[in-house]
Structure 1
Amino acid sequence: MNVAIDWFAFLQVFIAAMLAASLVVTFYAIGVRLLVRAGKAPVVAPAEFTDALTVITDKDRKRAAKAAAKAARKSPLTAAQKRVAFVAACASFTVCGLAVLGGLLLIVFNH
């Protein structure tokens, strides 16, 4: 039995995977940054671990929400600039989703 590896095809797949991963990470980071600039910072409540490693009190949770609201009010952008930043963030997340969807379609239909 002779196994032959097409190294050029392997290189093509490797480069495509690296470019796609870079595209998704870059546009996701841009989207999050634009969301913050638009004053819509994603606030994620800290997790409470069941094994008592970290316990988040209601006071800490309220403090984090208050800090996020204060940061949103301090934005130097006008309302129109915030809207543009929000639309650009949505477009950036759409590019991420389309890249992932395109990769899935390649896997499903080009196999």
Structure 2
Amino acid sequence: MAGELILPGDPAFGDMYGQFFAGRPPSVEDVANKDGETYHFVVRPGTAENLAVPVTESELDDYFQSGEYDARLEEMEASQPEEPELETVETMEELEGLLQCLHGLKTH
């Protein structure tokens, strides 16, 4: 069985899944009820997986105050594709010419 991929629907999947999660993954509420902390989710900068991890209230404060949040925002902005520059029409004549071109394309 080592090296096999067990997919949902396979009887072994339920057995394996149940071993780790007792039927379902633990929720934030489950974890919070276990130790009495309040949890939030953050994505740490520099993590290729973009996986949100639970943090306590004090860890959340540190996340914002230490600059991690700002670093994460910069990563997200850097990963956005650049928007193409749009050409502007500055005169009514240019607009009319553009509309005629578009109308010509539409009728052919």
Assess same fold via TM > 0.5. Answer: no
Q: Which has the higher contact order (CA 8 A, sep 6+)?
A: 1
Larger radius of gyration: 2
TM-score for the superposition, normalised by structure 1: 0.26
**Greater per-residue strand proportion:** 2
**Greater per-residue helix proportion:** 1
TM-score for the superposition, normalised by structure 2: 0.27
